């Protein structure tokens, strides 16, 4: 792709979108960022940044005007506590965003549209064991996705397929598996496990305890943000129109994740498990076979390396906040 390509990133005020905008600008692209809010932790690198509510049709038309490619990352989402608490609101918001952005992009002559889906589309009956088999793309069917968020993601994937079938509108579909890294939400209820645990470890005194949701034996794989951005750009530039996993295939328990972060922090902490909290499916892992076949590439940044950068950033943010409060 030529660097004269004009790109829209929706959700550019969010974690993945913000990092993607920075990378695209480094590559020399012209980038418009759109979100319902500005970036939380640092200024955007985008050439233009518009505050728009993409649940509204007129906003989607405005956002997608005069661009060649759309990375549609805008979504109402968060960690397991959030997505299990607001099924109707999340589903309705995201259905509106995705349907309006697809049609507005097609109407405005956009050449390629990338939809950010999720591993939450995978059938829950295939994820009942902690030593879960890696999930292949076809394991989304017969359908039994995560309630709310998973269902609307799965339907939007189908909508992308219909837009290619009926209009020959070029769509790409990415299924994210647990993305983490600096500049991600780490408190307030929408944070995911690596950020939430990093915050808890940073705030805990050595020899103290931290609360873990569930029994700590539930398993996941985790992908560092730099690998995520690299994969997004490669998938957009590929000729593959069907859904693709984007994640790592290293499975760890939540307790193992806690131990890794404690090691990075140099703290010995006791785990207190809360079985009343939501913990999602028992196990989830990414099968990267098709990703390797299509791209000749897969995420390679180690969990240790990624967690070190993430923990250090969160710990420094917490320290900054405490210094501001102490000075107030």
Catalytic positions, please?
Answer: 149
Q: How crowded is residue 51: how many other Cβ atoms within 10 Å of its Cβ?
A: 12
Q: Tell me the C-alpha to C-alpha distance, in Å, between residue 239 and each of 112, 138, 170, 234.
A: 11, 19, 9, 10
User: 207: closest CA among 262, 125, 168?
Assistant: 262
Q: Residue 171 CA to chain centroid, in angstroms? A: 18
Q: Is 130 exposed, middle or buried (0-12, 13-18, 19+ CB in 10 A)?
A: middle
116: left (phi over 0), alpha (psi -120 to 50) or beta: beta
Burial 151-189 (b: 16+ CB within 10 A, else e): bbbbbbbebbeebeeeeebbbbbbbbbbbbbbbbbbeee
Before 25, cis peptide (omega within 30)? no
Euclidean distance between CA atoms 235 and 223, whole angstroms = 16
CB 118 within 8 A of CB 150: yes
Helices (H), 108-253: 149-167, 193-203, 225-237
Euclidean distance between CA atoms 240 and 294, whole angstroms = 7
Euclidean distance between CA atoms 132 and 278, whole angstroms = 19
Q: Is 300 exposed, middle or buried (0-12, 13-18, 19+ CB in 10 A)?
A: exposed
């Amino acid at each position: 792709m030529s660097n004269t390509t004009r790109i829209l990133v929706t959700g550019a005020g969010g974690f993945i979108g913000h990092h993607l905008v920075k990378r695209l600008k480094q590559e020399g692209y012209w980038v418009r960022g759109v979100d319902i809010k500005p970036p939380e932790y640092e200024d955007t690198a985008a050439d233009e940044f518009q505050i728009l509510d993409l649940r509204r049709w007129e906003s989607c038309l405005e956002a997608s005007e005069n661009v060649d490619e759309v990375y549609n990352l805008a979504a109402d989402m968060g960690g397991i506590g959030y997505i299990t608490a607001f099924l109707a609101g999340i589903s309705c918001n995201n259905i509106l965003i995705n349907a309006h952005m697809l049609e507005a992009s097609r109407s405005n002559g956009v050449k390629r549209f990338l939809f950010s889906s999720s591993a939450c589309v995978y059938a829950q009956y295939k994820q009942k064991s902690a030593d879960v088999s890696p999930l292949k793309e076809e394991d989304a069917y017969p359908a039994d996705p995560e309630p709310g968020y998973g269902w609307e993601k799965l339907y939007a994937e189908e909508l992308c397929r219909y837009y290619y079938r009926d209009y020959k509108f070029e769509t790409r579909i990415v299924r994210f598996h647990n993305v983490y890294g600096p500049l991600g939400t780490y408190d307030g209820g929408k944070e995911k496990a690596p950020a939430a645990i990093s915050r808890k470890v940073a705030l805990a005194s050595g020899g103290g305890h931290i609360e873990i949701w569930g029994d700590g034996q539930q398993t996941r794989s985790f992908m560092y943000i730099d690998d995520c951005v690299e994969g997004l750009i490669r998938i957009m530039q590929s000729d593959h129109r069907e859904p693709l996993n984007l994640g790592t295939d290293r499975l760890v328990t939540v307790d193992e994740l806690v131990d890794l972060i404690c090691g990075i922090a140099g703290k010995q902490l006791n785990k207190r498990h809360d079985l009343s909290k939501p913990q999602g499916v028992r196990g989830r892992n990414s099968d990267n076979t098709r990703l390797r076949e299509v791209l000749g590439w897969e995420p390679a940044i180690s969990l240790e390396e990624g967690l070190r950068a993430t923990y250090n950033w969160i710990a420094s943010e917490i320290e900054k906040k405490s210094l501001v409060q102490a000075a107030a």
